[in-house]
Structure 1
Amino acid sequence: MEEDKMGMRIQSETIEIVKDEKGLVGISIGGGYPFCPCVYVVQIFEKSPAELDGRIRAGDEVVAVNGISTKGERKSAVAQLIQCSTNPVKITINKLETNSSKGKTLDIMMKKIKHKIVEFMDTDSIDALGLSRAILCNDPLLKKMKILEDNTLLYRNMIAYFEDLFYLHDKVSYYQRVYFPMIT
C-alpha cells in the first residue's frame, strides 16, 4: 500500500526477522498510548538482527506484530508482543520516504530535530515520548554525519593547499624562464 503525501511516500512492508541468541530483534520503540496514537522505531541497535536485515529504520511506524495491530497500544505491550513471539517475528511497518536532493537523509534530519527538542524537555517527558538523551547522543547516524563533515573540511583544506602549491610552482617556473633562460 503506497500513499503520496506532498512529495513523501508512505510504504507498508512486512518484515520477518529472526531474533538473536538473547531473544531480541534489536530495536528500541517509542510512542504508544496514551502519548501517541502509534508506536514507532526510535533506534536500531548496532550488530542486531534488525540492523543486519537493513530494512527497518529509525522513524518507521510499527503497524503490527505477527498480524496483531499495534494501533492504540502501549509501547510496553508492543515490546512484550515482540519478545514473546516465536522466530521469525513478522513486523509490519510504515516507512516514510522522501527524495532528498541535498544528500542528507530523513533519518539524520529527524535526529537533529530531536536533539533540539530534547534540550528543553524534562526527563519524564523525554521518557514518555520514548526519546532518550543517551540514544540521541550516541546515535550512529549522527556520528557518521560528523565524520562526513570532518572529511569535507579535510578535502577543502587539501584543495586550498594544492591550489597554493600549484600557484607557487607556476611562479618558480616563471622566474626560472626569466632569469635562467639557458636552463630551459
Structure 2
Amino acid sequence: MTVTSGSVTLKKDPQNLVGISIGGGAPYCPCLYVVQVFDSTPAARDGTIQAGDEITGVGGISVKGKGKVEVAHLIQSFKALPSYSLIETVTIFFNKLHADPKQGKTLDIVLKKMKHRMVENMEASTADALGLSRAILVNDGLVKKMDELDRTASMFAGLVTHSRSLVRAIFNLSKVHHGEFDAFSSLSFPNV
C-alpha cells in the first residue's frame, strides 16, 4: 500500500457547500476523512477527492486535532476573492491510500467485515462521530453476499450430514435384507 498527498480546489455550490460528508475528528478519531461524496456536487464533478481520503488541510490551514463540524465550518468560511470572481472556491488538502490491485478485493472484503463488526458493538453516537452509518453497513452489498455465502455453506453442511445419515440407513437396511435372505435361504435349502 502507498499513500499519496494531493490537493483539489473546488468551486462551492449556491448553498456554500462542496458536496462531501466528513467523518472522524476530535475527540474520537485522530484524523478526518471523507465519508461520502454526494452526487451532482462540485466534489463529484471534479472526481479528485473520494470517499476514504484523509483530509489534512483546508485552504492552507492544518485540520489536525479539529472536529468534523469545525472543519465543515472552515470549508464554508472561505469566501471569493474580489479580484478573481464571484464564485467561491476552497482548496482541500488530502492523503489518498492506494491498495495493491492484486490484494484489492480481498482487502475490501476484510475491511468491510471489520467495519461491520466494529459498528455492531458501538453506540450510535460513537458510530456517527466516526462517520460509520449502521444503515449503510446493513445495506452493503458485500456484507449481504457474505451472509448469503454463510447461509449456503450451512445448507451444504446440512446436506452432507443428511447424506451421511441416509447412506448409513441404506447400509443398515441392506444388512437387514442380507440377514433375511440368509434366513430364507437356509429354510429353502437345508444343509445336506
What TM-score range do you get, normalising by the shorter chain? Answer: 0.5 to 0.7
Q: Are 1:127 and 2:128 an aligned pair?
A: yes
Indicate the residue corresponding to 2:50 in structure 1.
Answer: 57
Contact 1:26/1:44, CA 8 A, preserved across alignment: yes
Write out aligned runs for 1:11-160 (5 A): 11-86=4-79, 87-101=88-102, 104=105, 110-137=111-138, 142=140
Deviation, 1:72, is 0.7
Deviation, 1:127, is 1.8
Q: Structure 1: which 5+ runs fail to align?
A: 1-7, 150-184
Amino acid aligned to 2:105: K
When the two structures are superposed, what TM-score results if normalisation uses the length of structure 1?
A: 0.64
Deviation, 1:45, is 1.2
CA shift digits 1:127-158 (9 cap, x unpaired)? 222222234456xxx56x69xx8xxxxxxxxx
Larger Rg: 2
Question: Aligned partners of 1:51, 1:131: CA distance in 2, in Å?
Answer: 20
Contact 1:16/1:90, CA 8 A, preserved across alignment: yes
The Cα RMSD (Å) is 2.5
Q: SS of the counterpart of 2:2?
A: strand
Deviation, 1:38, is 1.3
Tell me: CA distance 1:111–1:88, structure 2 relative to 1, closer, same or farther (3 Å).
farther
Q: SS of the counterpart of 2:117?
A: helix
CA shift digits 1:28-56 (9 cap, x unpaired)? 11111111121111111122211111111
Deviation, 1:107, is 6.4
When the two structures are superposed, what TM-score results if normalisation uses the length of structure 2?
A: 0.62
Contact 1:58/1:107, CA 8 A, preserved across alignment: no
Question: Aligned partners of 1:125, 1:107: CA distance in 2, in Å?
Answer: 23
Aligned residues: 136
Q: Provide the identity percentage.
A: 53
Tell me: CA distance 1:105–1:67, structure 2 relative to 1, closer, same or farther (3 Å).
farther
Question: Aligned partners of 1:97, 1:136: CA distance in 2, in Å?
Answer: 22
Q: Are 1:10 and 2:11 an aligned pair?
A: no
Flag the structure with higher helix content. 2
Question: Aligned partners of 1:13, 1:49: CA distance in 2, in Å?
Answer: 17
